[in-house]
Chains A and B, each alone.
Chain A
Amino acid sequence: DVQLVESGGGLVQPGGSRKLSCAASGFTFSSFGMHWVRQAPEKGLEWVAYISSGSSTIYYADTVKGRFTISRDNPKNTLFLQMTSLRSEDTAMYYCASGNFDYWGQGTTLTVSS
């Protein structure tokens, strides 16, 4: 079965940094692009970033461009999101999702607060 398991969330102070991970299993991770999507409390879904299978193509939402970096380690079947200069409005559940959004992880919660 396909599994995507996010980790790395927690409480971070404004201006701080955090790195999220998404461990993939049950499919050929290296063959698929991957996304990060977030959802602020009681809000809708916001697409955050995309990385192609070989990392050659990367896109970001304007709200995170210049602050967040998406990357992947194909041999380790892991997707990452490095977040810097965090703001209160980055508080959300962060999901990783497969390239066609067929599969989603359970999410990891990031809270940015002093």
Chain B
Amino acid sequence: DIVLTQSPATLSVTPGDSVSLSCRASQSISNNLHWYQQKSHESPRLLIKYASQSISGIPSRFSGSGSGTDFTLSINSVETEDFGMYFCQQSNSWPHTFGAGTKLELK
């Protein structure tokens, strides 16, 4: 199975900061990497698909980059509504594994 390692586990930031979240795959997955946001007591929400493709309705401050084994989710000027968990997931091969997540919290 492909293992996705997310870092850092926790990111403490102030609104207005710009941040980068990392997701590293145990083997090449091309661009088959997707990012989700999950707020407390809510379902996950797709933010970015196929490493860098934007999703309708998602604010433009969210962007993704990377290919192969190294991927990054960037948030340009964090807003208070952005605090929560962020997960990456690969769809290159079965099982479609998720990373353990990065918690974005208020400093």
Inter-subunit contact A101/B99 (CB<8 Å): no
Inter-subunit contact B95/A100 (CB<8 Å): no
Whole-angstrom distance from the CB of B90 to the nearest CB of chain A? 10
Inter-subunit contact B44/A45 (CB<8 Å): yes
Is residue A47 contacting chain B, with contact meaning CB distance below 8 A? yes
Residue of B nearest to A95 (CB): B43
Residue of B nearest to A101 (CB): B46
Number of residues from A at the complex interface, CB < 8 A = 18
Is residue B89 contacting chain A, with contact meaning CB distance below 8 A? yes
Is residue B34 contacting chain A, with contact meaning CB distance below 8 A? yes
Inter-subunit contact A44/B44 (CB<8 Å): no
Inter-subunit contact A100/B98 (CB<8 Å): no
Known: A45-B89, A100-B49. A105 touches B43 (CB 8 A): yes
Inter-subunit contact B99/A44 (CB<8 Å): yes
| A100 proximity list for chain B (CB < 8 A) | 46, 49
Known: A45-B87, A45-B89, A47-B95. A101 touches B34 (CB 8 A): yes
Inter-subunit contact A45/B98 (CB<8 Å): yes
Q: Mark A79-114, 1 if CB is under 8 A from B, else 0.
A: 000000000000000010000111011110000000
| A45 proximity list for chain B (CB < 8 A) | 36, 38, 44, 87, 89, 98, 101
Within B24-76, the residues touching A (CB, 8 Å) are: 34, 36, 38, 43-46, 49, 55
Q: Which residues of A contact B (CB under 8 A)?
A: 35, 37, 44-47, 50, 59, 61-62, 95, 100-102, 104-107
Q: Which residues of B contact A (CB under 8 A)?
A: 1, 34, 36, 38, 43-46, 49, 55, 87, 89, 94-101
What are 14 A-to-B residue pairs whose CB atoms are below 8 Å? A35-B96, A44-B99, A45-B38, A45-B44, A45-B98, A46-B98, A47-B89, A47-B95, A47-B96, A47-B98, A50-B94, A62-B95, A101-B44, A104-B45
